[in-house]
Amino acid sequence: MASENFDPARLDPDGAQHLAASVKILIAGGFGVGKTTMVSSISEIAPLRTEELITEVSSGVDDLSGVESKSTTTVALDFGRITIDRDLVLYLFGTPGQDRFWFLWDELSRGALGAVVLADTRRLGNSFAAVDFFERRGLPFMVGVNCFDGAPRYTEDEVRDALDLDADTPVMLCDARNRESAKNVLLTLVQHLIELAGREPVTT
């Protein structure tokens, strides 16, 4: 009897079942930049969320300037999945944004091939910590500038200069609420990872 999970569309021409490569990607950034929104907008499965209501306990602990209307916060991670094509599946891990949960970032980054650092132009300075985190660990990343309604508009080059990024670090304007926009960010990161892999010296 054929397996219930058997899919003829995943067969190679020689008849062997095709298995797509699985890649772990982090969606990172400061508090309230849209990480949960991006994972939710693009995930092809019901995303796993670990959000809790913001209460008076966080008063004086979390910086809500610029995001005063935010009522929930991620306390562990967000998780989603998107199939790019028959050869590549991305598993997305959204990181918590508040400083007191940063101890989780080291664990979440284990096994990741790259990261998207989401930035908010209303609080661009909050992106420095995430940029520094990935630079120190040598984990490739790109910056996605989440264009909030009413937020200041800057060009990609202006954001690159403001964050003091390397010339080859991709920067892209995006809308985390829009599936196609979020997908383009991930495709840009994947292309960046492929280019970096092509520069690695060949050992014999």
Residue whose entry in the numeric block shows the structure tokens 């796993």: 48
**CB count, 10 Å around CB of 65?**
11
Cross-strand partners of 51: 74
Provide the pLDDT for residue 165. Answer: 96
Tell me whether strands 21-29 and 114-119 are parallel, antiparallel or unpaired: parallel
pTM of the model: 0.77
The Cα–Cα gap between 119 and 28 comes to: 9
Nearest Cα to Cα of residue 144 among 179, 178, 173: 173
**Residue 185 exposure: Cα atoms within 13 Å on the Cβ side:** 35
Quick one: pLDDT at residue 103? 73
Encode the chain (204 residues) as per-residue pLDDT tens digits: 443 443 434 434 444 455 678 999 999 998 889 999 999 999 999 887 654 444 444 445 445 454 444 444 444 578 999 998 889 999 999 988 666 666 788 988 999 999 999 999 999 999 999 999 999 999 999 999 999 999 999 999 999 999 999 999 999 999 999 999 999 999 999 999 999 998 876 555
* pLDDT of 199: 84
How far apart, in whole angstroms, are the C-alpha atoms of residue 48 and residue 39?
9
Which long-range contacts does 122-125 make (Cβ < 8 Å, 24+ apart)?
122/66, 122/148, 122/151, 122/152, 123/30, 123/32, 123/33, 123/65, 123/66, 123/67, 124/159, 124/162, 124/163
CA-CA distance, 92 to 116, in Å (whole number)? 10
Which pair of structure tokens corresponds to residue 198? 């092509």
Write down the pLDDT at residue 117. 97
Structural domains of the chain ordered from first start: 21-49+75-198 (3.40.50.300)
